[in-house]
């Protein structure tokens, strides 16, 4: 309906392969970025930051990472929580061992640590697939959480609960209890924008195609010269890198204090997996939509059921769990590619309207 594409033609492959080839999409993206960068920072408050925007953004980040592994490369993982913990604990260790190190580097390095751990646990993917692999990744989940809980070195021989020390960026506190919501929001947003762009670049290029070819038909991929192990491990590495950064952001920015068995338990793994199923497997946009859905639905339900209808918090929680489960089934039946595909179909319809095809 709104799309007008007559007269938009491409003179070279660079123009043809750009991320947003349609002019109207560029405008939409521009509007979103303007709101995110120039409007929200001025109106944000503590509630919006901690309850809505930060969870949405960090889970988008993590979902992006998991979607690379599950959605693009077709390797199921239930170890997300464990990898988030690796990110959080390695950033804690780095941060306390090198207090002078800039927080950005700390977080990037902890992403690197997570990538290494991810590769290690990705090794079985050479021999096993599907739910066998899911079970193997559960080992990562349970082992890693146990390790962070049991090995005192990881929490500097203090309490098993770790707390983020205050750190500054450009003179503004971004971690610790004194940090302003605006600074924290912008810090996470910066990570999100840069790494979303990188993810988009990866999935549209050679590496992304090698992941997808392994996902769609690994035998054919192998005979095209794609090395299955290398490809799968690269997906594990990139995915874990993102998840690790996400874990570090949860620890430093969003929560400030975490305990491995609580903050990163297996339910986190399910949570993120559900986010990408609902959002859309194999879609960068899907990671955002799924994270938005999973992070914001409880907030919405609480407002409606508890604050509005006066229901007990417990009951509302149970309803939420059921709703999530039902939606997973619903999406798998009706639209296995999730919200992102629904958006794509809508967009396609808008582009064709008034014609249905």
Partner 1 sequence: MAYEYPDPSVYDTLPKLLRFNAERHPTEVALREKDYGVWTEFTWADYQERVRNLALAMHEAGLRKGDVFAIIGDNNVDWICAELAAQSVGAMTIGFYRDVLEDEIAYLAGYSQAKMAYAEDQEQVDKFLALGDRADSIEKIIYSDQRGMRKFDDPRIVSFNDLVTRGAEIHAKSPELYDQLVDAVTGEDVAILCTTSGTTSNPKLAELPHGNFVRHTQLYLKHDPKDSTDEYVSVLPMPWIMEQVYTLGFGLNSRMKVSFPENEETAMQDMREIGPTFLLLAPRVLEQIAADMRARVMDAGPLTQWIFEKGVALGTEAVEQGSRSWLADTMLFGALRDRLGFSNVRSAATGGAAMGPETFKLFLAMGVPLKQLYGQTELLGAYTLQDGKEIDVDTVGVPFEGCEVKIIDADTDGVGEIVTRHPNMFRGFYKNAEATKADMKDGWMHTGDAGFFDDKGRLTVIDRVKDIAQTRTGTKFSPQYIENKLKFSPYIGEAVILGAGQDYLTAIICVRFSIVSKWAEKARIPFTSYTNLSDRPEIYELIRGEIAHVNESLPETQKIRKFLLLYKELDADDGELTRTRKVRRSVIAERYGPIIEALYGDGDRAEMNSEVTFEDGRKGNIQASMKIMEVDGAAAPALKKAG
Partner 2 sequence: MEFLHALLIQPFADMVMEPAFFIETLVKGLMAGVLYSLVALGFVLIFKASGVFNFAQGVMALFAALTLTGLMELLEPSGMPKALIVILAIAATIVVMILLALIIERLVLRPLVNQELIILFMATLGLSYVLEGAGDLLWGSDVKVLDIGLPTDVWDINGVFIEQLDVTAAIAAGSLVAVLAVFFTKTRIGRALRAVADDHQAALSVGISLQQIWVIVWSVAGIVALVAGIMWGSKSGVQFSLSLIALKALPVLILGGFTSIPGAIIGGLIIGVGEKIVEVFWYSVHGGAVENWFAFMLALVFLMFRPQGLFGDKIIERV
Partner 3 sequence: MAEAQTLESGESAAPSGYADTRTIGGPILSVENIVVKFGGVTAINDVSFDVREGEIRAIIGPNGAGKSSMLNVLNGFYKPRSGKINFAGQSFPAMDPYFAASNGIARTFQNIALFRGMSTLDNLMTGRMLKMKRNFFWQCLYFGPAQKEELENRAHVERVIDFLEIAALRRTPVGRLPYGLQKRVELGRALAMDPKILLLDEPMAGMNVEEKEDMSRFIIDVNEEFGTTVILIEHDMGVVMDLSDRVVVLDYGSKIADGTPDEVRANQDVIDAYLGVSHD
311: contact with partner 2 by CB under 8 A: no
219: contact with partner 3 by CB under 8 A: yes
Among 207, 235, 253, 273, binds partner 3 (CB under 8 A): 207
Q: Closer CB to partner 1, residue 19 or residue 352?
A: 352
Shortest distance, position 261 Cβ to partner 3, whole Å: 34
Say how far apart CA 200 and CA 140 lie, in whole Å. Answer: 27
5: contact with partner 1 by CB under 8 A: yes
Q: Closer CB to partner 2, residue 139 or residue 198?
A: 139
Q: Closer CB to partner 3, residue 2 or residue 217?
A: 217
202: contact with partner 3 by CB under 8 A: yes
Hunting for tokens 């509005």 — which residue is that? 308
The piece of 8-16, 123-131, 268-276, 300-308 that touches partner 3 (CB under 8 A) is 8-16
Shortest distance, position 114 Cβ to partner 2, whole Å: 18
Query: How many angstroms separate the Cα of 107 from the Cα of each of 114, 172, 242, 250?
Result: 11, 17, 10, 11
Q: 9 touches which of partner 2, partner 1, partner 3, none (CB within 5 to 8 A by kind)?
A: partner 1
26: contact with partner 1 by CB under 8 A: no
Among 135, 159, 193, 299, binds partner 2 (CB under 8 A): 135
15: contact with partner 2 by CB under 8 A: no
Query: How many angstroms separate the Cα of 30 from the Cα of each of 19, 26, 34, 61, 205?
Result: 13, 6, 6, 20, 24
Q: Closer CB to partner 1, residue 170 or residue 357?
A: 357
Q: Closer CB to partner 1, residue 132 or residue 353?
A: 353
Shortest distance, position 357 Cβ to partner 1, whole Å: 7
């Amino acid at each position: 309906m709104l799309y007008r594409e007559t007269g938009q033609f491409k003179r070279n492959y660079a123009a043809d392969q750009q991320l947003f080839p349609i002019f109207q999409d560029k405008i939409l993206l521009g509007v979103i970025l303007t709101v995110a960068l120039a409007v929200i920072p001025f109106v944000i408050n503590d509630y919006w930051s901690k309850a809505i925007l930060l969870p949405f953004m960090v889970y988008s980040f993590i979902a992006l990472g998991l979607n690379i592994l599950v959605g693009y490369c077709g390797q199921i993982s239930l170890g997300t929580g464990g990898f988030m913990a690796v990110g959080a604990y390695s950033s804690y260790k780095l941060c306390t061992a090198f207090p002078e190190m800039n927080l950005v580097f700390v977080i990037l390095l902890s992403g690197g640590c997570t990538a290494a751990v991810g590769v290690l646990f990705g090794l079985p993917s050479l021999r096993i697939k599907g739910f066998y692999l899911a079970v193997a990744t559960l080992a990562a989940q349970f082992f890693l959480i146990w390790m962070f809980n049991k090995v005192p070195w990881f929490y500097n021989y203090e309490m098993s609960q770790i707390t983020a020390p205050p750190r500054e960026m450009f003179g503004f506190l971004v971690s610790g209890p004194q940090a302003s919501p605006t600074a924290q929001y912008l810090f996470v947003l910066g990570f999100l924008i840069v790494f979303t762009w990188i993810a988009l670049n990866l999935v549209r290029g050679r590496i992304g195609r090698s992941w997808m070819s392994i996902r769609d038909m690994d035998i054919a991929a192998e005979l095209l010269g794609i090395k299955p192990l290398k490809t799968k491990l690269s997906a594990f590495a990139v995915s874990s890198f993102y998840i690790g950064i996400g874990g570090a952001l949860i620890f430093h920015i969003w929560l400030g204090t975490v305990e491995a068995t609580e903050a990163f338990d297996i339910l986190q793994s399910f949570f993120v997996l559900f986010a990408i199923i609902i959002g859309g497997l194999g879609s960068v946009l899907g990671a955002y939509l799924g994270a938005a859905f999973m992070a914001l639905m409880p907030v919405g339900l609480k407002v409606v059921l508890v604050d509005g209808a006066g229901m007990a918090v417990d009951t509302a929680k149970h309803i939420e769990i059921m709703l999530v489960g039902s939606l997973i089934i619903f999406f798998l039946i009706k639209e296995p590619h999730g919200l992102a595909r629904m958006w794509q179909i809508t967009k396609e319809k808008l582009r064709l309207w008034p014609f249905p095809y």
